[in-house]
Structure 1
Amino acid sequence: MQNHERDTRPLYRERLAPGLWLLVTIALAGPMTTLVFLPAGSTTLALVIGVLVSLLLVVASIAFSPVVAVADGELRAGRAHIDAGWLGEPEVYTGEEARARRGPRLPGDGWHLIRGGIDGLVVVPITDPADPVRSWSISTRTPDRLAAAIRRAAGRPGR
């Protein structure tokens, strides 16, 4: 007897969380909050409030970071999603070329999920003639893996 259940594991999944230095910067809101509450009376209360503010902001910045995923024949980038059948050949960019593609060479007729501090970029052409968006530009820490997952989901296993 054959197993006819679809494999529901994602081919690719990445949370575009802030980098360590940005998290440290966000956490600095706690000591500033402590300084604001110090004149109000209790030093202990001010410290507790500062620690809670730091913790809340760091957890929120990670929890609310967008997720890029390829699963169930679909590419998801943040809240947007598209069927993999409408995806063209993904283009991988790193370094200086990625910076140019995120800046002056960013397509005006495209959809973008760009995050600072993340070097890699994958640009995926959209082949649906009815879609006004011609490409998706997605920041990623592992552009080769994302491109491979998109190819696999679209039925093009190799390059």
Structure 2
Amino acid sequence: MGYPGVRAWLPYVLLVPLAVAALLWLGRVRVEVRGTGGERELRVGQAHLPVSFMGRVDAVVGEAKREALGPQLDPEAFVVHRPWVGPVVRIEVLDPDDPTPYWVVSTRHPERLIAALR
């Protein structure tokens, strides 16, 4: 039967925004290029990759993104995929001591990320 008045709708007013805020906070991942000169590195969350160990860098969108994250995906690749972010950037790793062949990172501005890595 429920309670009439404020007790009926107050939990929704308090808990729905709290749940939305928690989901947004848990889903955030910062993608940035840090450093100056030859000691720059790409940071994705807690992971980092020096620019000196990067090979080919490509933006992947549309159908190619589905292929890159599906049948063509290497199980050892480092992937930070957020489905609500459209394009991804694929970065080849040239470090001989790193078993990761490449990184696949979601970003809203792939052109700016590629320009910052060059």
TM-score, normalising length from structure 1? 0.64
5+ residue gaps, structure 2, are none
- Is it true that 1:93 corresponds to 2:60 in the alignment? yes
2:24 counterpart residue number: 62
Q: What is the CA RMSD across the aligned residues, in angstroms?
A: 1.7
The letter of the residue matching 1:133 is T
How many pairs align? 113
Q: Where does 1:75-86 land on structure 2 (aligned, <5 Å)?
A: 75-86=42-53
5+ residue gaps, structure 1, are 1-37, 152-159
Q: Which has the higher strand share?
A: 2
Q: Secondary structure at the match of 1:90?
A: strand
Q: Deviations over 1:14-58 (max 9, x none)?
A: xxxxxxxxxxxxxxxxxxxxxxxx72x354134221122111122
Q: 4+ runs of 1 displaced by more than 6 Å?
A: none
Match of 1:74 among 41, 46, 49: 41
Match of 1:134 among 101, 107, 110: 101
Cα 1:106–1:43 change in 2 (3 A) is farther
Q: Deviations over 1:45-101 (max 9, x none)?
A: 342211221111222222221111112222111221222221222111111111211
Match of 1:107 among 64, 74, 93: 74
Q: Which has the higher helix share?
A: 1
Q: Percent identity?
A: 33
Cα 1:42–1:78 change in 2 (3 A) is farther
